[in-house]
Amino acid sequence: MAQPGTLSPSVGVSVRLLTAVALVLLVVPHLVVVITSFDPTSAALFPPTGFSLRWYINALERRAFREALALSVVVATTASAIAVSAGTLASILVVRHQFIGRRVLITALQLPMMLPEVVLGLGFLILFTTWRMHVSVVNILLAHAVITMPYAVRVITANLQTVSPSIEEAAHVLGAGPLVTLFRITLPVIKPGIIAAAIFSFVVSFDNFTVTAFLVTSRGTLPIEIYSYIRTEGDPTIAAISTLLILASLTGVIATVRFVGFERITGTEGSA
Amino acid sequence: MSRWILGAPAVMLLGLLMAAVASVLTASLAPVAGIPLGHYQRFLSDPTYFAYITRSFRVASLTTAGALLLGYPVAFAMTRVSARTQKLLTLALILQFFSVNVTRIYAFVLILGNNGALNRSLLGLGLIDHRIPLIYNELGVTIGLASSALPFAVFPITTVLARIPASLREAAQVLGAGRGRIFWRIIFPLSLPGVSASAVVVFLYSLGAFATPLLLGGGFVDLIAVFSYEQAVNLSNYGFAAAGAVVTLSIAFLTVYVFTTVMDRWTRVA
Amino acid sequence: MIPAQTGLAARGHVQLKRVSVGYGGHRVVNEVSLDMPSGEFICLLGPSGCGKTTLLRAVAGLVLIEEGSIMIDGVETRGLPAHQRGIAMVFQDLALFPHMTVYENIAFGLRLKHLDRRAIDAEISSILMLLHLKELRDRLPRQLSGGQQQRVAIARSLVVRPSVLLLDEPFAALDRKLREELRREIRALQRRLGITVVFVTHDQEEALTLSDRVAVMNAGRLEQIGSSDEIYERPVSRFVMNFVGSTNFLSVADVERYDKETRCKLTGQLVILSTTKTPEKHQDRQYELAIRPERIRILDEVSPPTANRISGIIRDVTYEGASVIYEVELADKQRLLIRQQNTGEQQQPGRTQLGKSVVLGWAVEDAIIFAAAK
């Protein structure tokens, strides 16, 4: 009989094949991009015909990209700060308190994640136009905060649920008021969750294309700028930027895995 | 700690969301030159516009099927392989989730294009004699979407699979069941809630896709999000854009509702 | 506000007067009155759901009471938050702050009282010594063993100098040896510091060995309060007798109560008990004779005669090492258990005894009549 943890041969073959296909589908694209970034011709040929770093230089020199990157970082940082703050407080409310409408709130907090982005994008566009809010950065920022909040709530709620409420009671019995308990006990204990939530939110905001596209006026975030470049020039500069972003993503992945742990992400937590 | 203080910031953000959704509904319901529900009329009566819906649903369904077909084995494999391989797979899936959308789609442009990696390699190896059109059509868009949606497909299934106690499998083994039977009669039925959740997530995700059809579709595979974008941003037809989105969404939610109800009933009977 | 303990005056006198928690039909604690003098070690004992933990939390101020009053050292506690009651609490899961070291955990309560650093340091040093934690002061809770964590939780509570220490089944998760060790330690500590301790447990052995008095609770009510031997020897209700220690319950008929004795018929034979052991009023209901396994003797030629004699057949023998359990079937097919100490003088207990006819005896004071459980 199959040992736990090893894939037995007969069941394995078809499963292994499909898994291999899936892995290929996941990893190969990134590899192709990385390799293509070094091709000296502007046609972005694969296999590459030579080796050149000119696209990297072009990417780093281009002002539009630099400005777009700055905007993306500013928006992502601010939006995730808002989302994580609001999300942390909301998580505490939902996990530690009982009240009428608690279930409704739990569902509502997940709503932005469940609605298609086209509806969100269109909705924010119409809303902000109606409210005469014309500063696109602010609009994008607010929209991103709304979009990333469910991710923050999910991560922090999962973390908070592993913490027994008795430590808060113990603090109370020892004389700590609600604010002291919140800042000296609750928040420090869920710190890993907060950090993971911040990373998640940052990435979701940075990566966002659809909603941002609806709200952008002149200057865009990096994904928008990349898209424009693909449409207009289409040379391997994109591959160069993509490679740099892949590296950044890897860093983000490693950081998150360190703080959240594999089991929680894949949902296999609690199994043997 | 006062409940209101805890809930206020999140509720404000949600309020913003509700306002946005309400705006879409309101805009779509606005009368057009005196005709009530004019936007809906125009959208539903003209076949060119309605084609957006059929196209979107077609692509979404194919993507869901593809993502599940690939995602289920991956999820299953993840519960059975060594810890190291498991981590590798998880890493690949998380990387997918974390990688910037546009760059990921660009990768497919490079690979699937007529001058792209796949075609050039196959031609070079002599396996085909003319280029396979894998881009600027529904197939290309579907492949791109399925790849992006893979993490969403895999994780709900791994969650459910992990909850199936190993003792069920062992009990069946002791009773003499072979691996195939154990899978199809025990594991697969018990994993259906996860499959169903997966399907819903991927379906809604692909229905609302924007960047992928833009880049990989090249104008030939415009899904509903592209339609709304063009109407709203380029033509400032907010109401019309909204009507299209609302119609698509309504059908989508209806489909999901019917699907989950049928699945619930079926899994209970099974 | 009740000031921190300084003087030697008797402190920690807890008075519960008809305390009720919960609404109308669903009371978790139902009119419990209890007077705990200063310096007493009292156990709240009962099965899960009997309200003992809720009562403890009410004293702590974590739960609001609907009716009645809780007074600590003559001060009404209604409206007083937990930290102003002069109490401290050890939670069932210990509730140590995972992100703080042992030192910081213990210092937490002191820092909230705004004592200066040197005073805090001094207090903590002495409590660390008292609980043998000195080398562990910079460790995190997850780096400690179960017993060490317990001590830290106790230290954190004692350092704020409470008059009353509340403990909610703190040793439940520990293994036997550790539990016994910690029981002795907490008892010694309590005697030394002279504080009142209220200890919640469902383990009757723990309650009997630890406390000055035991309060047995059932379904929100206080069934009986008394010293360990009172609870064990003179239980006032069927519940108490059944919950504490093991008991045989046998159906009897024709119960008649006289001045000095009570008579009834067990398997048709006459049985006599002391009237003081019939707390239930004589009514027209089913009755049961309750007697503990160790109070029944198997009589042989050399045994002194007893007031009550009944014959039966041995159906099962269980060898426990220090004692032997016999399961005996009476004439009306009722079965009872007898526990005999293994003095080595009797015949070899074992399978040879099975099926043997024996005569059982017990003294008049050893049995009690209760109304049968419905």
How confident is the model over C331-349, as pLDDT tens digits? 888 999 999 888 776 666 5
Both C184 and C254 in one domain: the answer is: no
How large is the average pLDDT for residues C62-79? 92
DSSP structural state of residue A47: S
Give the residue on B whose Cα is nearest the Cα of A93: B6
What confidence tens digit (pLDDT) does each residue in B152-182 have?
899 899 989 888 888 888 888 888 777 778 8
A173 contacts chain B (CB < 8 A): no
Helices A136-161 and A102-114: angle between axes, nearest 10 degrees? 130
| Token output for C72 | 């600590």
Alpha-carbon span B95 to A252, nearest angstrom: 9
Asked if the Cβ–Cβ distance from B101 to A223 is below 8 Å, we say yes
Q: Are C45 and C201 in contact (CB under 8 A)?
A: yes
Higher pLDDT, B23 or C1: B23
- Report the pLDDT value the prediction gives residue B103, as an integer from 0 to 100: 82
CATH of the domain at C290: 2.40.50.140
Q: Does B53 map to a domain? A: yes
Q: Are B213 and B225 in contact (CB under 8 A)?
A: yes
Both C350 and C217 in one domain: the answer is: no
CA distance B265 to chain A (A): 23
Domain boundary among C224, C241, C258: C241
Asked if the Cβ–Cβ distance from C97 to A166 is below 8 Å, we say no
Is this model's pTM higher than 0.90 or not?
Answer: no
CB-CB neighbours of A21 under 10 Å: 14
Both C290 and C308 in one domain: the answer is: yes
A266 contacts chain B (CB < 8 A): yes
Neighbours of chain B (3+ CB pairs under 8 A): A
Instruction: For residue C1, name the pLDDT band (cuts at 50, 70, 90).
Output: very low
- Report the pLDDT value the prediction gives residue C268, as an integer from 0 to 100: 76
B101 contacts chain A (CB < 8 A): yes
Both C217 and C333 in one domain: the answer is: no
What confidence tens digit (pLDDT) does each residue in B206-228 have?
988 898 888 888 888 888 888 88
Do chains C and B touch, with touching meaning 3 or more CB–CB pairs less than 8 Å apart? no
Instruction: For residue B8, name the pLDDT band (cuts at 50, 70, 90).
Output: very high
Q: Give the CA dihedral A12, A18, A21, A25, nearest 10 degrees.
A: -130
> Which residue among A14, A122, A262 places its CB closest to the CB of B90?
A262
Give the residue on A whose Cα is nearest the Cα of C107: A174
One-letter amino acid at C136 equals L
Q: Does B20 map to a domain? A: no
CB-CB neighbours of C173 under 10 Å: 14
Collect contacts of A46-53 with beta carbons under 8 A, ≥24 apart: A46/B110, A46/B111, A46/B116, A46/B117, A46/B120, A46/B121, A47/B117, A47/B120, A47/B121
β-bridge mates for residue C371, sequence order: C287
C26-36 β-sheet, strand order: C26-36, C14-23, C67-72, C75-76
Both C85 and C182 in one domain: the answer is: yes
What confidence tens digit (pLDDT) does each residue in B220-253 have?
888 888 888 989 988 888 988 998 888 888 888 8
User: Which residue has tokens 């009471």?
Assistant: C65
Q: How many CA within 13 A on the CB side of residue C177?
A: 0
Report CA-CA distances (Å) from A167 to B47, C59, C297. 63, 18, 52
How large is the average pLDDT for residues A31-40? 83
Q: Which residues of A touch C (CB under 8 A)?
A: 164, 166-167, 169-176, 180, 184-185, 188-189, 191
Write the CB contacts of B2 (distance below 8 Å, at least 6 apart in sequence): A178
Both C221 and C87 in one domain: the answer is: yes
Both C213 and C85 in one domain: the answer is: yes
Both C153 and C289 in one domain: the answer is: no
Substitution target from C56, C77, C110, C111 for chain A, most A beta carbons within 10 A: C111
Asked if the Cβ–Cβ distance from A167 to C83 is below 8 Å, we say no
Q: Note which residues in 45-84 of chain B have CB less than 8 A from chain A.
A: 69-71, 73-74, 76-83
Alpha-carbon span C126 to C119, nearest angstrom: 11
| Token output for B32 | 């057009």
Domain boundary among C197, C213, C241: C241
- C351, pLDDT greater than 90: no
- C4, pLDDT greater than 70: no
Asked if the Cβ–Cβ distance from A45 to B73 is below 8 Å, we say no
Contacts of A87 in chain B (CB under 8 A): 10
pLDDT cut 70: percent of chain A above it: 89
Contacts of B95 in chain A (CB under 8 A): 26, 30, 246, 249-250, 253
Q: Report which of A257, A261, A260, A237 is spatially closest to residue A249, judged by C-alpha positions.
A: A257
- How big is the CA angle at C143 (ends C139 and C148), to the nearest 5 degrees? 85
Q: Does C9 map to a domain? A: no
Q: Note which residues in 41-70 of chain A have CB less than 8 A from chain B.
A: 43-47
CATH of the domain at B75: 1.10.3720.10
Do chains A and B touch, with touching meaning 3 or more CB–CB pairs less than 8 Å apart? yes
- C166, pLDDT greater than 50: yes
What confidence tens digit (pLDDT) does each residue in C182-212 have?
999 999 999 999 999 999 999 999 999 999 9
β-bridge mates for residue C271, sequence order: C264
Asked if the Cβ–Cβ distance from A89 to B7 is below 8 Å, we say yes
- How big is the CA angle at C205 (ends C233 and C172), to the nearest 5 degrees? 155
Alpha-carbon span C107 to C120, nearest angstrom: 7
Asked if the Cβ–Cβ distance from A214 to B207 is below 8 Å, we say no
What confidence tens digit (pLDDT) does each residue in C123-134 have?
999 999 999 999
B237 contacts chain A (CB < 8 A): no
Q: Report which of A255, A240, A267, A124 is spatially closest to residue A199, judged by C-alpha positions.
A: A255
Give the residue on B whose Cα is nearest the Cα of A16: B77
| Token output for B92 | 């690949």
Alpha-carbon span B44 to B58, nearest angstrom: 17
Work out the mean pLDDT of chain B and round it to a whole number.
85
Q: Give the CA dihedral B131, B137, B138, B144, nearest 10 degrees.
A: 80
Write the CB contacts of C313 (distance below 8 Å, at least 6 apart in sequence): C328, C329, C355, C356, C357, C358
How large is the average pLDDT for residues A9-16? 63
Alpha-carbon span C353 to A38, nearest angstrom: 93
Q: Does B15 map to a domain? A: no
CATH of the domain at C211: 3.40.50.300
Q: Are B239 and B31 in contact (CB under 8 A)?
A: no
Alpha-carbon span C287 to C146, nearest angstrom: 47
Please give the domain boundaries of chain A with CATH numbers for all domains. 12-52 (no CATH), 63-265 (1.10.3720.10)
Contacts of C124 in chain A (CB under 8 A): none
Both C262 and C208 in one domain: the answer is: no
| Token output for A203 | 């990435």
Domain interval for residue B200: 31-269
Q: Does C8 map to a domain? A: no
Give the residue on B whose Cα is nearest the Cα of A210: B210
Q: Does B63 map to a domain? A: yes
Q: How many CA within 13 A on the CB side of residue B109?
A: 26
Q: Does C6 map to a domain? A: no
Q: Is the peptide bond before A47 cis (omega within 30 degrees of 0)?
A: yes
Q: How far is CA B42 from the centre of its chain?
A: 28
State the total domains in chain C. 2
β-bridge mates for residue C340, sequence order: C324
ipTM of the complex as predicted: 0.85
- Report the pLDDT value the prediction gives residue C346, as an integer from 0 to 100: 61
Contacts of B197 in chain A (CB under 8 A): none
pLDDT cut 70: percent of chain B above it: 99
Contacts of B116 in chain A (CB under 8 A): 46
- Report the pLDDT value the prediction gives residue C349, as an integer from 0 to 100: 56
Report CA-CA distances (Å) from C165 to A76, B11, C40, C181, C345. 50, 42, 11, 19, 48
Q: Does B70 map to a domain? A: yes
Domain interval for residue C19: 14-241
- C373, pLDDT greater than 80: no
Asked if the Cβ–Cβ distance from A176 to C99 is below 8 Å, we say no
> Which residue among A112, A182, A250 places its CB closest to the CB of B17?
A112
β-bridge mates for residue C263, sequence order: C256, C272
Q: Give the CA dihedral C350, C351, C352, C354, nearest 10 degrees.
A: 110
Both C135 and C172 in one domain: the answer is: yes
- C55, pLDDT greater than 90: yes
Q: Report which of A195, A263, A253 is spatially closest to residue A26, judged by C-alpha positions.
A: A253
Report the range of poorest mean pLDDT among B6-20, C6-20, C32-46: C6-20
Give the residue on A whose Cα is nearest the Cα of C162: A174
Domain boundary among C191, C218, C241: C241
Instruction: For residue A2, name the pLDDT band (cuts at 50, 70, 90).
Output: very low
Q: Which is it for the CA torsion B120, B122, B126, B130, positive or negative?
A: negative
- Report the pLDDT value the prediction gives residue A71, as an integer from 0 to 100: 94
| Token output for B87 | 């981590």
Asked if the Cβ–Cβ distance from B111 to A28 is below 8 Å, we say yes
**End-to-end Cα spacing for chain B:** 47
Write the CB contacts of C120 (distance below 8 Å, at least 6 apart in sequence): C107, C110, C111
CA distance C235 to chain A (A): 35
Do chains C and A touch, with touching meaning 3 or more CB–CB pairs less than 8 Å apart? yes
- A266, pLDDT greater than 70: no
B1 contacts chain A (CB < 8 A): yes
- C222, pLDDT greater than 90: yes
CA distance A194 to chain C (A): 15
3-state class (DSSP) for residue B35: strand
Q: Report which of C107, C114, C109 is spatially closest to residue C89, judged by C-alpha positions.
A: C109
- Report the pLDDT value the prediction gives residue A268, as an integer from 0 to 100: 41
How large is the average pLDDT for residues C36-57? 94
Q: Are C38 and C196 in contact (CB under 8 A)?
A: yes
Both C224 and C264 in one domain: the answer is: no
Both C171 and C288 in one domain: the answer is: no
How large is the average pLDDT for residues A229-236? 81
Substitution target from A16, A107, A118 for chain B, most B beta carbons within 10 A: A118
- C3, pLDDT greater than 50: no
Work out the mean pLDDT of chain C and round it to a whole number.
87
Q: Does B26 map to a domain? A: no
Substitution target from C91, C120, C149, C159 for chain A, most A beta carbons within 10 A: C91
A110 contacts chain B (CB < 8 A): no
- Report the pLDDT value the prediction gives residue A267, as an integer from 0 to 100: 43
CA distance B102 to chain A (A): 6
Q: Does B137 map to a domain? A: yes
What confidence tens digit (pLDDT) does each residue in A63-116 have?
888 999 999 999 999 999 999 999 999 999 999 998 898 999 999 999 898 888
Asked if the Cβ–Cβ distance from C60 to A173 is below 8 Å, we say yes
Most confident of A107-121, B36-50, B83-97, C259-273: A107-121
CA distance A207 to chain B (A): 5
Instruction: For residue A271, name the pLDDT band (cuts at 50, 70, 90).
Output: very low
State the total domains in chain B. 1
- How big is the CA angle at A70 (ends A66 and A73), to the nearest 5 degrees? 135
Substitution target from A166, A168, A174, A182 for chain C, most C beta carbons within 10 A: A174
Question: Is B55 exposed, middle or buried, given 0-12, 13-18 or 19+ CB atoms closer than 10 A?
Answer: buried
CA distance B211 to chain A (A): 7
Asked if the Cβ–Cβ distance from A23 to B89 is below 8 Å, we say yes
Q: Report which of A210, A233, A239, A240 is spatially closest to residue A223, judged by C-alpha positions.
A: A210
Alpha-carbon span A238 to C370, nearest angstrom: 89
Work out the mean pLDDT of chain A and round it to a whole number.
84
- A7, pLDDT greater than 70: no
Q: Does B12 map to a domain? A: no
B33 contacts chain A (CB < 8 A): no
Asked if the Cβ–Cβ distance from B107 to A146 is below 8 Å, we say no
Asked if the Cβ–Cβ distance from A173 to C98 is below 8 Å, we say no
Q: Note which residues in 136-175 of chain C have CB less than 8 A from chain A.
A: 156, 160
